Amino acid sequence: MTAALAGGALGLLSKAACRAGAWNVGIEQYQAHCYTDIYPLYFTEGLSAGKVPYTGHPVEYPVLIGAAMQAAAWVVSPISDALIRGREFFDVTVVLLTLFAVASVLATAYLAGRSRRWTALLVALSPAVILAAFINWDLIAMSLATLGLAAWAARRGVLAGILLGLAVATKFYPVFLLGPLFLLCLRAGRLRAFWVTASAAAAAWLAVNLRWPSPHPAAGRRSTGSMRAGALTGDPSGISSRPSTGPSWAACRWAPSTPYRSCCSGSPAC
């Protein structure tokens, strides 16, 4: 746990330049190697304007990430200054993601076994995890997927399925973990255990997604188009490819020396 917290502290330290204002000046956040999606998405996803994901604004992320966004937005809503509120939105999200990182490290230690629990340090203090921890909300999916595997190792198939289903409701990639589990069960003659877990995963995913259906079906298509365009433009988050009217965060983002406040004013996203 201490190592996971230390890794989180180092991850936050790597964003210090952005927290000091570099993310409000287009090129500085890249020169300082501190870019994060979390801060700009607070504005572009309508959270700064009080809009609720899915019901009030088409959010391109899966449901549980939208829930995490909204939870952090509620916490910082009493702050009047928009830029300070955006920074605190990032800070609250960092706290949330750090808790998930701790859970993931503890689950890894459990999976490694008593004699090799030290290998969880390879996750907690991994340079890749430290540098990428607070770029997006991926730690939530990583944690839920790792907890799901820990539950599987403890022979708690239903719980494993629920956790894996929630992981898929956060990021899609954990669904591929079901493939190796199927092969393991096929080899061991335990297909019933696999189908119990897979069914629980499907039920958890459906329960979350049917509970908060999006009134904006075009959001999913927009997300795919944005990410595809982002791959072509060198913008992995796809923010610069989103349609907008008037001055926007996307325009600020690529202007080398334009302050965020000056080009954000007048944008519906601000």
Q: Per the domain annotation, does 223 fall within a domain?
A: no
Report pLDDT for 46: 86
What are the CA-CA distances from residue 4 to residues 53, 119, 180, 236 (Å)? 30, 12, 27, 27
Average pLDDT of the chain, as a whole number:
80
Task: Looking at the structure, tell me whether residues 114 and 20 fall in a common domain.
Answer: yes
Higher pLDDT among residues 129 and 60, named by residue = 129
Report pLDDT for 244: 38
Report pLDDT for 212: 62
Higher pLDDT among residues 17 and 268, named by residue = 17
Higher pLDDT among residues 122 and 211, named by residue = 122
Task: Looking at the structure, tell me whether residues 148 and 124 fall in a common domain.
Answer: no
Taking only the tens place, the pLDDT of each residue in 45-80 is: 888 888 888 887 788 888 899 999 999 999 999 988
- Between CA 73 and CA 67 the distance in angstroms is 10
Task: Looking at the structure, tell me whether residues 177 and 78 fall in a common domain.
Answer: no
Report pLDDT for 234: 41
Given a cut of 60, whether residue 229 has pLDDT beyond it is no
Question: Of the candidates 246, 227, 249, which has an alpha carbon nearest to the alpha carbon of residue 238?
Answer: 227
Gap between the terminal Cα atoms of the chain: 38
Q: Per the domain annotation, does 230 fall within a domain?
A: no
Report pLDDT for 150: 95
Task: Looking at the structure, tell me whether residues 116 and 143 fall in a common domain.
Answer: no
Task: Looking at the structure, tell me whether residues 73 and 204 fall in a common domain.
Answer: no
Task: Looking at the structure, tell me whether residues 34 and 58 fall in a common domain.
Answer: yes
Q: Which domain holds residue 91?
A: 1-136+244-270
Task: Looking at the structure, tell me whether residues 13 and 124 fall in a common domain.
Answer: yes
Q: Per the domain annotation, does 229 fall within a domain?
A: no
As for how many domains the chain has, the answer is: 2
Which 8-state DSSP code applies to residue 61? S
Report pLDDT for 204: 94
Of 28-37, 54-63, 162-171, minimum mean pLDDT range: 54-63
Q: Per the domain annotation, does 237 fall within a domain?
A: no
Task: Looking at the structure, tell me whether residues 166 and 120 fall in a common domain.
Answer: no
Q: Per the domain annotation, does 188 fall within a domain?
A: yes
pLDDT bin (cut points 50, 70, 90) of residue 44 is: confident
- Between CA 162 and CA 15 the distance in angstroms is 33
Q: Per the domain annotation, does 209 fall within a domain?
A: yes
Task: Looking at the structure, tell me whether residues 107 and 199 fall in a common domain.
Answer: no
Q: Which of 172, 200, 216 is the last residue of a domain?
A: 216
Report pLDDT for 109: 93
Question: Of the candidates 42, 50, 45, which has an alpha carbon nearest to the alpha carbon of residue 77?
Answer: 50
Task: Looking at the structure, tell me whether residues 173 and 98 fall in a common domain.
Answer: no
Neighbours of 174 (CB within 10 A): 23
Q: Per the domain annotation, does 228 fall within a domain?
A: no
pLDDT bin (cut points 50, 70, 90) of residue 256 is: very low
Residue appearing with tokens 């090129």: 27
Task: Looking at the structure, tell me whether residues 92 and 180 fall in a common domain.
Answer: no
- Which residues make Cβ contacts (< 8 Å) with residue 174, sequence separation at least 6? 141, 144, 145, 148, 164, 167, 168
- Between CA 253 and CA 53 the distance in angstroms is 23
- Between CA 163 and CA 71 the distance in angstroms is 20
Distance between alpha carbon 262 and the CA centroid of its chain, in Å? Answer: 28
Residue appearing with tokens 């000056």: 262
Q: What percentage of the chain has pLDDT greater than the value 90?
A: 44
Q: Per the domain annotation, does 225 fall within a domain?
A: no
Task: Looking at the structure, tell me whether residues 165 and 178 fall in a common domain.
Answer: yes
CA torsion 79→84→89→90, rounded to 10°? -160
Report pLDDT for 102: 94
Say if residues 45 and 65 touch (Cβ distance below 8 Å). no
